[in-house]
């Protein structure tokens, strides 16, 4: 600006010594140039009409009356002023020229002493390459060198003062990593970012890029979580780990050794540089599992199965570990199982349904109010174990009423095979709980939820038997008054689960099964003349399941309605309400059997259990189910009134009888 001002002044000083025409052009208003020209022409027209002398004088006169240029004289009078201004202008220019050099020296010093966050910001602002930014960040970020594998360790806390952590592994051809979030900050929606690079120390970059792709081979959960891990292109060397409710994993199985580096950041963007401001208290703790052979502390896709609950007890089954369907007989030596089934012995290995869980299982039960599921950490083993330790271990030996010592064959949940199961006591009436199963290798199942019954709930838990392997719920049977004590001698419960059925029920079920088997074997069993889709064996198994649920009713939650008819209709968008009917000693379900001495609410059998027998058995056996809209509602639970397409409680026909949240609307 000083140079421009000086030029303007010098140019203005030159104007008074130029010709009049130049002066007129300099004084002309750019916006009114045409007016000035017309005025000049009007004066000249007047001059042409006058006499010679006057015309000569007029022609030499100025077109405008001009005042004395005082401002211009003022500019001329202090001539020495510009002599002093010139050195000042020169010094100003010199100062401005040297200023960037001075600032550059200060910036360099600040960058050297700055934190990793300021270094990253400086790198991004100055337009440095991504690789340079990543290396600059790693040099100022705490780094852990993990040379010994396998290992499981809790990483240092990530918080606002220490938001970054870098891990380095030795060169390897295979690496299995698992991550579990043990705790979150005050804002549980902020999850740590995990970036993994195999570029090596010379070309390490944690920039995922803008064109990342899904990489199923590296890990992640497609069905339940946020999807598979992301990779920076098909042959990229950078990955981001996808979280699935507190769990993440990454696998490398290449053909050559690579150096693996990990950058973990709270508020870190996927470019490996940008840091978001954090306004949180507390911090995030992550547990790392690393191995070169197989994953450690992994997640199983299966979940436990709830049998039923009392006011202070719960029957819980492990996931199906080994599938072992009964073998189908063949013609001509076609025989059906005896009423008292002979279970196959457990021997490993067998056909595996869930290979990630071992047979050495432990049940974990936590009050839902203290559950890590409230923070979205359903699948984090370390978060689950922390919550268990803080709540007193509900499923400890001091509260365990019953536990199978080995895997047992059952047909609960519509699946035949080996499971382990527990009966936990010491629960709170009408309490909400969350349950997991874990094994001795650190594999964790998916969680389930359940609610205990009201304190006045009168029924007893029945365990699977050789006669009815699918019955595992609360039933209106006589109390088994056998005390259960803890290893320390303290009384856990004054009652025990029923492990053998009363004689009258056993005799009734046995005689019916024998008679049905005799009639069924008169059919064309084992031949195509019977059916192309089912067999006599399928018919007999369906009949056993239906008979046991009819003879041994299931107790449901208390129904406050005074109506004797259950609610059997509901919208298709909501889970059905329990279909119950009130029973009393004077109005039992089976009048021919000894009625219980108390009143209870019966959870009606799913209509699908009856339809299954009708579908798999020969027509000439004469087995028929009641029809919807006629009399089915008196004995069965269903949804809808269409006899062909309505929901009868079977998984293939709509809602199952129960779900993972502990809701149960029919017995089936």
**Residue ranges, the chain, pLDDT below 70:** 1-139, 201-203, 222-226, 348-355, 559-573, 641-655
How much is the pLDDT for 533? 86
How many angstroms separate the Cα of 409 from the Cα of each of 320, 345, 391, 464? 10, 8, 32, 9
Q: Do 666 and 579 meet the contact criterion of CB atoms below 8 Å apart?
A: yes
Helix 80-113 vs helix 116-125: crossing angle, to nearest 10: 130
Integer Cα distance of 443 and 440 in angstroms: 7
How much is the pLDDT for 357? 86
How much is the pLDDT for 630? 78
Closest residue by Cα to residue 536 from 544, 552, 525, 546: 525
pLDDT averaged over every residue in the chain: 79
Q: What is the pLDDT of residues 462-488, one digit of tens each?
A: 999 999 999 999 999 999 989 998 888
How much is the pLDDT for 489? 86
How much is the pLDDT for 348? 62
Burial of 625 (0-12, 13-18, 19+ CB in 10 A): buried
How much is the pLDDT for 279? 92
How much is the pLDDT for 246? 96
pTM of the model: 0.75
374: DSSP letter: G
* Structural domains of the chain, with CATH: 2-77 (no CATH), 127-291 (2.60.120.380), 301-494 (2.60.40.10)
Q: What is the pLDDT of residues 162-195, one digit of tens each?
A: 999 999 999 999 999 999 999 999 999 999 999 9
How much is the pLDDT for 486? 87
């Amino acid at each position: 600006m000083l140079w421009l001002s000086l030029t303007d002044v010098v140019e203005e000083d030159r104007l008074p010594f130029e010709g009049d025409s130049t002066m007129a052009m300099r004084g002309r208003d750019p916006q009114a140039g045409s007016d000035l020209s017309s005025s000049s022409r009007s004066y000249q027209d007047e001059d042409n009409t006058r006499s010679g002398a006057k015309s000569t004088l007029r022609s030499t006169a100025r077109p405008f009356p001009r005042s004395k240029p005082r401002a211009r004289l003022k500019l001329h009078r202090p001539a020495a002023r510009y002599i002093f201004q010139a050195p000042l202008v020169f010094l100003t220019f010199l100062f401005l020229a040297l200023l960037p050099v001075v600032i550059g020296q200060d910036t360099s010093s600040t960058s050297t002493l700055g934190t990793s966050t300021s270094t990253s910001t400086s790198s991004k602002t100055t337009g440095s390459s991504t690789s340079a930014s990543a290396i600059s960040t790693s040099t100022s970020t705490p780094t852990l060198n993990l040379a010994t594998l396998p290992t499981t360790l809790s990483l240092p806390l990530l918080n606002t003062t220490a938001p970054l952590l870098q891990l380095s592994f030795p060169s390897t051809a295979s690496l299995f990593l698992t991550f579990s979030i043990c705790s979150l900050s005050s804002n549980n929606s902020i999850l740590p970012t995990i970036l993994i690079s195999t570029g090596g120390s010379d070309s390490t970059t944690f920039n995922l890029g803008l064109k990342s792709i899904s990489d199923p081979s590296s890990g992640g959960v497609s069905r339940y979580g946020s999807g598979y891990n992301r990779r920076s292109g098909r042959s990229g060397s950078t990955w981001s780990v996808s979280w699935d409710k507190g769990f993440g994993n990454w696998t490398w199985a290449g053909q050559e050794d690579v150096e693996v580096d990990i950058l973990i950041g709270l508020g870190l963007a996927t470019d490996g540089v940008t840091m978001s401001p954090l306004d949180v208290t507390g911090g995030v703790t992550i547990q790392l599992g690393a191995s070169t052979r197989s994953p450690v502390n992994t997640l199983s896709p299966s979940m436990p199965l709830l049998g039923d609950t009392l006011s202070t007890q719960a029957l819980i089954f492990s996931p199906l570990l080994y599938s072992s369907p009964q073998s189908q007989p063949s013609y001509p030596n076609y025989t059906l199982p005896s009423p008292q089934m002979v279970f196959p012995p457990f021997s490993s290995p067998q056909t595996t349904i869930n290979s990630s869980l071992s047979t050495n299982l432990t049940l974990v039960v936590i009050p839902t109010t203290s559950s890590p599921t409230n923070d979205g950490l359903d699948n984090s083993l370390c978060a689950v174990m922390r919550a268990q330790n803080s709540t007193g271990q509900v499923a400890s030996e001091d509260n365990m009423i019953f536990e199978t010592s080995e895997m047992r064959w059952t047909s609960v949940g519509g699946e035949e095979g080996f499971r382990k199961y527990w009966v936990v006591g010491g629960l709170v009436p009408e309490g909400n709980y969350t349950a997991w199963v874990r094994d001795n290798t650190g594999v964790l199942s998916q969680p389930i939820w359940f609610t205990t019954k009201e304190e006045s709930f009168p029924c007893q838990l029945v365990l699977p038997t050789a006669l009815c392997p699918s019955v595992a719920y609360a039933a209106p049977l006589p109390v088994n008054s056998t005390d259960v004590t803890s290893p320390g001698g303290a009384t856990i419960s004054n009652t025990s689960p029923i492990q053998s059925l009363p004689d009258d029920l056993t005799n009734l079920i046995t005689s019916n099964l024998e008679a049905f088997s005799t009639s069924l074997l008169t059919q064309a069993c084992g031949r195509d003349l019977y059916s192309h889709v089912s067999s006599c064996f399928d018919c007999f198994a369906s009949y056993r399941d239906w008979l046991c649920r009819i003879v041994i009713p299931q107790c449901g939650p208390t129904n406050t309605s005074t109506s004797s008819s259950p609610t059997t209709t509901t919208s298709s968008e909501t889970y059905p309400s329990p279909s119950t009917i009130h029973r009393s000693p004077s109005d039992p379900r089976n009048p021919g059997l000894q009625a219980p001495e108390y009143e209870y609410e019966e959870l009606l059998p799913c209509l699908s259990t009856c339809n299954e027998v009708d579908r798999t058995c020969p027509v000439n056996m004469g087995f028929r189910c009641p029809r919807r809209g006629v009399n089915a509602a008196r004995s069965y639970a269903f949804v809808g009134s269409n006899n062909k397409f309505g929901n009868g409680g079977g998984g293939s026909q709509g809602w199952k009888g129960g779900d993972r949240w502990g809701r149960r609307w029919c017995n089936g």
